[in-house]
Structure formats: C-alpha cells, structure tokens
Structure 1
Amino acid sequence: MTRLYRWKSGTAALMAMAITTGAITPLFTSAPASAQYNINQSRTITIPYNVTFPVTYEKEKVIVNPGESLPLTLKIANDIIDNNRNVLIPRGTEVVGRLEPVNLNGRSSSDRNNNNNNKGVRFVAQELVFASGKRQPINASSRTITQTERISKGSDTGNILTDAAIGAGAATVIAAITGNRKIEVLEPLGGAAVGAVASILLRKKQADVFVLRPEQDLDITLNSSLVLSRY
C-alpha cells in the first residue's frame, strides 16, 4: 500500500525537496556536480537544513521526569532517497542522541492535565550509525514537548506503562507513588539522586511526567545541512 510520509521544511528546503512513493526524497546537491555519475570517485551529497526525518523506536512510549536527561537511540523509519531513488540513509539507520530538558524561560504552557508547566523535553541527535558501522555526525533535534501526564497514588497507570521505556528518575517517581516496584528502567539512577527524588516524594502524592510517543513526538529536523559521503 502506498504511503506518503510527512515532512517539514523551510523555504530553501521546499525548493530542494521532492516526495516520491513511500519515502522522503531530498533533491541533493553534490560537489562537484559533474562527479555524481563518475564510477569509483567519491562525492558528497548535501541534504539541506530544516528537513525532517521520521523516526521509530522499539517501544511505543518513553517516559521521563521533567528535568531528566536520558541517552536514547532511535532509528530512521524509512529509506531516505534522492530523486534517482538512490538510498542516502537506509531505513533502520540508528540515530544516537539524548532526551534533554528544555527550560521555557518562565513561559507557561498547558499540558494534557491543564497544569502550568515551564519545562519541556526534546530529543537531540548526535550521530547516525549505519549498518556497516560507519558513524556520521548529525546536527538535528525534535520539537520541544511540553505536555505531561499525571501519576497519582491509587491511579491506574496500566495504559501509561504499557510498552514503555522509562527513565530512572521517572521510574523512581512512579514506583514511590504507586508502589509498583517492577518497573524496568533505561538507565540506573545514582544513590544520591534516588535519595533526592525520594525526599521530594515524601511530600507529594502525585507527579507529572513526560510520556513521549517517538513516532509522533520525536521526528528529527536538521539544524544544519547534512553532508554525506558517497562512493
């Protein structure tokens, strides 16, 4: 079944992009242009900034605390190809990066529970890792997510926790509030950090966490042009 994947770009990228069946298709520029058809000669292909790549993750959701930072590896959701159907970035290429907190500088936003929240979270991509093992630096990030979901004592967290990868900070919060001690975490939390979180929870019976849905929330947009080497 033919699917048209979503993409975003600015004016410059609009002039340099085309969509074909089932993939995002950058119309690349190469240097030198005459070299793109030369066999056994290396060339570079530039995907312009402000182009967005769809991503996927092994879990349906990722849960983190406001202010929590977490290493995360996503994958490119479908082949990125040029207008000649040459694959530039294969589907399944790893996108190594981190979920990083964002301070909204005092500006408030309304979350899913209509609470004021001046914190956000976004994914910052650092490297592409191809199946061959080749690593390619990338300067890209997702949009900032500000909506949270509330965890409270006695609440049913089944839907939130199902098929979720959970950061250590969020896992500590959820376990302390709900009594669920069987939560698998993505990264261990140091003893001092656990103590700090626990002391906060002694005064609280609820907490707000970010529940990210990678395929909806974490598509990455190039902050600068991505230059790929082709052979």
Structure 2
Amino acid sequence: MLISPRWQSQTALIMALGITATSAIPILMATPATATPQSYTVAQGRRFPRQRPPISQQSTRIIVPSGTSIRVKSQEADKIVVMPDETAPVTLTTTRDIRSSNGTILIPAGSTIEGEIRPVNRGTQFFAKNLIVKNTNRVIPLNAKSQVITETETIDKGTDVASILKGAAIGAAAGAVISEIFGDIDLIEVLAGGGLGALGGLLLGGKKKAEVFVIYPESDLGLTLQSDLLLN
C-alpha cells in the first residue's frame, strides 16, 4: 500500500510532537526542586505557582549552626564547687568571637550566657538557657550544654579546704556540707562571694566527709550548640 507524501509528513510531525512532549514532562516536574525564586507544581498539564517566602527574607536570616563550639569562662570565680545532687545557677561569659564563614562576627566575645549546673546520670553538666549579646542586651533563648563532668573530689577532716575554696563559687548545698564537716571553720566570707545562693546556716558536727564536683569553667564548661541558633 502506497502512502502519499502528505500523510508521511503529517505522521512524521505527530511522532516528533509526541517525542518532544514525552521528554519535556520530567524537566517540568523537576522545576520545584531547583533553587529558583519561583517554583511550580504541575496538575493536568498546567503549571501553578507555589507560594514561597521572598528571597530577600531568606537571605537575611542569621543562623549559628548546631554543633558550633562556644568557649566560656566565669567572671565571678576560677572554679565552682557543688554537690553531686545540687542544681546551681551560673552565669558565664564568651571568650572568643563566633564568626560566619566570611568573617562576620555573629556572637562577640564578652557576651553573657545564663544557665545552670544540674546533676545528670553519673555526673554534673551545665545547661545554657539564654544568650545576652554584648553591646545590644538582646536576650536570645540558647540550647547549648557542656560535657558531662564525672570526676569528684573528696573533702574530709584532712583536706586542705582553704586551697579548694580559694577563688571558688560555692553552691549552697556544698557550703552547708563543708561547714558541717569542719564544724567551727569560718566559711562565711568565702560563701558570701560565691554568687550561687546564700548559705542557709552552719550545720555543725555532722558529716565526716563528702564528695563534691570542683569545676573549672574555662576548661570544663566549653559549650556545644544542640540546635541552630537564630540571631534575628
């Protein structure tokens, strides 16, 4: 059977259109996955704009990513002494600038971190609550924590307690127990400068010894962000 040249050209045109349409579908459907200012969904062969935040808003978000390390120290004391089951509020100060990949300072050194030391399984740990950004006084919720500190120190009658307490911030519970061990030793001046709560009274002549955590903030309380920190 002979096919006229007119039918041959129409058949070729239809086949060409069919091939073009088939190959175009995956490219069109892949469009929403591309990082363009406007993406689309496809339904019944038509393209519909998908609502997205303006690019300008996305580009101005300032985020310090989860896992970032924050170096800190205490302005109040060289060390912190607490009992294993004690929770104590602690304020720390950042010692290094936190910068973006292009060198912009995101968290300046000297910013304040508020939190508390809490007992955890087999140790004690610092949990941050708020970041107060230096020079702005902006308060930002902060999800960060230190390593778990597990090494304790035994205090008994033979301990040189003055060397432990010198320059230390003493938790109220630790102070009460230490004063109980040493009886008439005068700890009032040391405890008054501790900044972790007032001593509720001296307990005399009870415990023989106690285990305490002696924490050195600059070496023990380096913080790690547990989630992204949005600064704006």
Q: Please state which band the TM-score falls in when normalised by the shorter chain.
A: 0.5 to 0.7
1:133 corresponds in structure 2 to: 137
Q: Superposition pairs for residues 49-128 of structure 1, below 5 Å?
A: 49-58=66-75, 59-102=77-120, 104=121, 119-128=122-131
Q: 1:189 to 1:158 in 2, by over 3 A?
A: closer
- 1:45 corresponds to 2:55: no
- Aligned equivalents of 2:162, 2:199: Cα separation in 1: 23
- SS of structure 2 residue aligned to 1:44: coil
Q: Which structure carries more strand by proportion? A: 1
Q: 1:90 to 1:216 in 2, by over 3 A?
A: same
1:109 corresponds in structure 2 to: none
1:10 corresponds in structure 2 to: none
Given candidates 145, 163, 167, the residue that maps to 2:167 is 163
Given candidates 187, 191, 206, the residue that maps to 2:197 is 187
Question: What is the letter of the counterpart of residue 131 of structure 2?
Answer: L
- Aligned equivalents of 1:148, 1:180: Cα separation in 2: 22
After superposition, the CA RMSD in angstroms is: 2.2
- Aligned equivalents of 1:137, 1:143: Cα separation in 2: 20
CA contact (8 A) 1:174 1:180 kept: no
Give the paired residue count.
171
Once the two structures are superposed, residues 36-91 of structure 1 have per-residue CA deviations (whole angstroms, 9 ceiling, x without a partner) of 5xxxxxx2222221222111112210000111001111011111111322110010
Once the two structures are superposed, residues 77-121 of structure 1 have per-residue CA deviations (whole angstroms, 9 ceiling, x without a partner) of 11111132211001010000011111x2xxxxxxxxxxxxxx311
Q: 1:99 to 1:32 in 2, by over 3 A?
A: farther
Once the two structures are superposed, residues 145-201 of structure 1 have per-residue CA deviations (whole angstroms, 9 ceiling, x without a partner) of 11101110132123211211111111111122124322314202557xx7xxx49x7
Of structures 1 and 2, the larger Rg is shown by 2
Which 4+ stretches in 1 moved above 6 angstroms?
none
- Aligned equivalents of 2:110, 2:80: Cα separation in 1: 19
Give the gaps of 5 or more residues in structure 1: 1-30, 37-42, 105-118
